[in-house]
């Protein structure tokens, strides 16, 4: 005869082990994306910068694009291990690349896209406020002082960048992997649905925190990035559609391209 207490406890043990395993897999995928960015940013890029290079930031930027391209490979490996076929009909369901829906009824709700400007504004203003508050602290001041100039995109605004159309090409490739086939694919397409299976309704919170912590190549801005990273994940999970995250995150890319054009075309 099986003891009563065993029947009450044993069913819960496998469930907890499954939850721990799912969390461990999520953290392992996060580490596989984050560690290469750190190595490329702070070990490889500085060694590739030629002395006297007027635009060393371009070397840094290229390494970041390489790191994001690796995230495409990582995403495909994870999907392959999950047994997901690389067919659009299957990928769109697995990656939540479907129209927004009311989760309670499953009915389409395209009106969710009307929330995009709200989350864009909230992410931008929230990041700015959080960054200012953080950099006013002793730790924030110290990290800001450690940030190398070549890692700050605003340092590309120099006369040497005038007429450099290759910078626009780099920006376009960077945007492709940043807002589509790299960061966005891995963190929102691959990880967010996994996180929901592991963490339920709080997946958006875990996703936002891990996405902000991934930005080791912008360590002086990491605390301020939390707000925008949450603004990508929350509506995506709430309406079960990563198109919302793609659009909200992608607005940043439009600003980037416009800024690069201004730099290239400077008088």
pLDDT digits (tens, 9 = 90+) for 82-96: 999 989 989 999 999
> Looking at residues 7-21, what average pLDDT do you find?
59
Q: What residues contact 109, with CB distance under 8 A and at least 6 apart?
A: 99, 100, 101, 102, 239
Q: Quote the percentage of the chain above a pLDDT of 90.
A: 47
pLDDT in the model for residue 213:
93
pLDDT in the model for residue 17:
74
The rounded distance, in Å, linking the Cα atoms of 147 and 143 is 6
pLDDT band for 189, please (50, 70, 90 cuts). Answer: very high
Closest C-alpha to 39, from 70, 75, 67: 67
Express each pLDDT in 117-170 by its tens digit: 999 999 889 888 988 888 888 988 888 888 888 877 777 777 887 888 988 999
């Amino acid at each position: 005869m099986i003891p009563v207490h065993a029947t009450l406890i044993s069913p819960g043990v496998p469930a907890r082990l499954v939850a721990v395993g799912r969390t461990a897999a999520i953290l392992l995928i996060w580490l596989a994306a984050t560690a290469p960015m750190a190595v490329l940013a702070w070990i490889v890029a500085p060694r590739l910068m030629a002395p006297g290079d007027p635009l060393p930031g371009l070397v840094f930027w290229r390494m970041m694009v390489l790191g994001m391209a690796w995230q495409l490979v990582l995403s495909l490996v994870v999907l392959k291990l999950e047994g997901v076929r690389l067919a659009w009909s299957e990928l769109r369901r697995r990656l939540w690349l479907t129209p927004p829906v009311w989760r309670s009824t499953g009915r389409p709700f395209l009106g969710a896209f009307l929330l995009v400007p709200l989350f864009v504004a909230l992410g931008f203003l929230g990041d700015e406020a959080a960054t200012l508050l953080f950099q006013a602290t002793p730790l924030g001041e110290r990290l800001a002082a450690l940030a190398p100039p070549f890692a700050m995109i605003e340092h590309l605004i120099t006369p040497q960048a005038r007429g450099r159309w290759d910078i626009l090409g780099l920006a376009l490739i960077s945007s492709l992997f940043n807002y589509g086939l790299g960061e966005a694919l891995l963190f929102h397409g691959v990880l967010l649905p996994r996180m929901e299976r592991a963490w339920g309704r709080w997946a958006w919170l875990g996703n936002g925190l891990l996405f902000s912590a991934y930005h080791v190549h912008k360590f002086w801005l990491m605390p301020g990035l939390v707000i925008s990273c949450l603004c990508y994940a929350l509506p995506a999970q709430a309406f079960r559609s990563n198109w919302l995250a793609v659009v909200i995150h992608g607005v940043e890319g439009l600003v980037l391209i416009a800024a690069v054009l201004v730099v290239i075309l400077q008088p």
